[in-house]
Amino acid sequence: MTSSFALALGGLTEVGFWSGVGVLAGIYTLLALGLQINVGFTGILNFGQAGFMAIGAYAMAILVIDFDVPFLLAVLGAIGVAVAFAMVVGMSSLRLRADYFSIATLAAAEAVRMFAQNAQGVTGGNQGLYGFDVAWADASRQIEEWLSAIGVGDANGLLPLLLVVWLVALLAIVALRFLQRSPWGRVLRAIREDEDAARSLGKNALRFRLQSLAIAATLGALSGVFLALNLSFVNPQAFEPQASFIGFAVLILGGLASYGGVAFGALITWTLLEATRFVDLPLSDTQIASLRFVLVGLLLIGLMAFRPQGVFGKRQEMVLGD
């Protein structure tokens, strides 16, 4: 036990470890911010966030590789595709009850992944797609030069991505908070509380839910783009339903109805998930990989027992909600 602790501490003091965790936490902050606006503020149970993430990554990569679209335009295009997909899913299933809708989103996300796996001509199948990040590599080097000029640098070259992903995530948090404080955000909360009450007061609930889903799709697509940049390739395994559920773990840890909590939850979740890599137990790699989720699960169970509203959630909203 002593030796495993020493190993763990050794790993935890490396800058490379923390920049890796930071990038993943940033990516999942974006992903889970989308879940927050859906689940925490609109009351729609979106289990398909991984699908929007996949669409973001694939659409960006395909636009860059096959159509020579400049990177930033490709990102915008990818968001457009994800939003369009969200509208199709939303218009066909948002009228359903909340639990049916969640199943529909899960199925839609799986359909996206299956498509990516099997439409080899477009997506490269299980081999995935490479070579979409030339523009990013240039930008990344440029940022690294600036950083080294002020004496900051790291071994694995993740700092530029870390900075950009968190810049985008923080901008998203600020923008979402701004929207949430607006009369528009008030209608979302009313729909979360009681859709019929909102409708009886002249609010077109379907329109607001679709907008909420579109924003979630936008954030999901952005997280997918950053995931692709982080991995340097896109392949279907990255977008298993697991991604959505890690998003939910992040959401619940941080607390419902708090955007800042999402960032906190993402940092804790990914620290845990990544730190378990350093645990030196007589276990195989797959067993260690499962252990990561056991730990996150235990943490969530503990949280539910002692602080069910999450770290930053509001207790009153939870108790009075029903």
Partner 1 sequence: MTDASRSMLEVRDVTCSFGGLRAVDGATLTVEEGSITALIGPNGAGKTTLFNVVTGFCPCQRGSVRLSGREIARWAPHRIARLGMVRTFQLTKALSAMPVIDNMLLAAADQPGERLVNVVLRPRAVRAREREAREQARELLAAFRLERHADEYAGTLSGGQRKLLELARALMARPRLLLLDEPLAGVNPSLGRELLRHMQRLRAEDGITFLFIEHDMEAVMNHSDRVVVMAEGRVILSGSPRAVAADERVIDAYLGGKHVPLEEIV
- Judge residue 167's burial from the number of C-beta atoms within 10 Å of its C-beta, 0-12 exposed, 13-18 middle, 19 or more buried: exposed
CB contact at 8 A, 266 and 254: yes
Nearer to partner 1, 189 or 292 (CB): 189
Q: Give burial (CB, 10 Å; 0-12/13-18/19+) of 239.
A: buried
Which residue of 177, 189, 277, 292 would you call a contact of partner 1, by CB under 8 A?
Answer: 189
Cα-based distances in Å from 123 to 5, 95, 230: 43, 32, 18
Rounded to whole angstroms, what are the CA distances from 163 to 168, 173, 189, 275? Answer: 9, 15, 32, 21
The residue (of 187 and 222) whose beta carbon lies closer to partner 1 is 187
In angstroms, the CA 9 to CA 272 distance is: 13
204 contributes a contact to partner 1 by CB under 8 A: yes
Contact present, 278 and 7 (Cβ < 8 Å): yes
**Rounded distance between C-alpha atoms, residue 100 and residue 166, angstroms:** 34
Minimum distance of partner 1 from residue 308's CB (angstroms): 15
**Nearer residue to partner 1 within complex by CB, 150 or 201:** 201
> And the tokens for 313?
């959630």
Q: Is 202 in the site for partner 1 (CB under 8 A)?
A: yes
Q: Which of 62, 104, 108, 198 binds partner 1 (CB under 8 A)?
A: 198
Instruction: Give the count of residues interacting with partner 1 (CB under 8 A).
Output: 29
> Segment near partner 1 (CB under 8 A), from 18-26, 71-79, 118-126, 191-199?
191-199
Classify the phi-psi angles of 43: left when phi > 0, otherwise alpha if psi is within -120 to 50, otherwise beta: left
Residues 100-159 within binding reach of partner 1 (CB under 8 A): none
Single residue of 1, 97, 121, 183 touching partner 1 by CB under 8 A: 183
**For 240, which DSSP code?**
S
Q: Residue from 68, 99, 285, 322 that binds partner 1 (CB under 8 A)? A: 322
Using CB under 8 A, which of 194, 237, 290, 307 touches partner 1? Answer: 194
Interface region with partner 1, contact rule CB under 8 A, candidates 15-23, 160-168, 198-206, 267-275: 198-206
177 binds partner 1 (CB under 8 A): no
Interface residues with partner 1 (CB under 8 A)?
178-179, 182-184, 186-187, 189-190, 193-194, 196-205, 211, 316-322
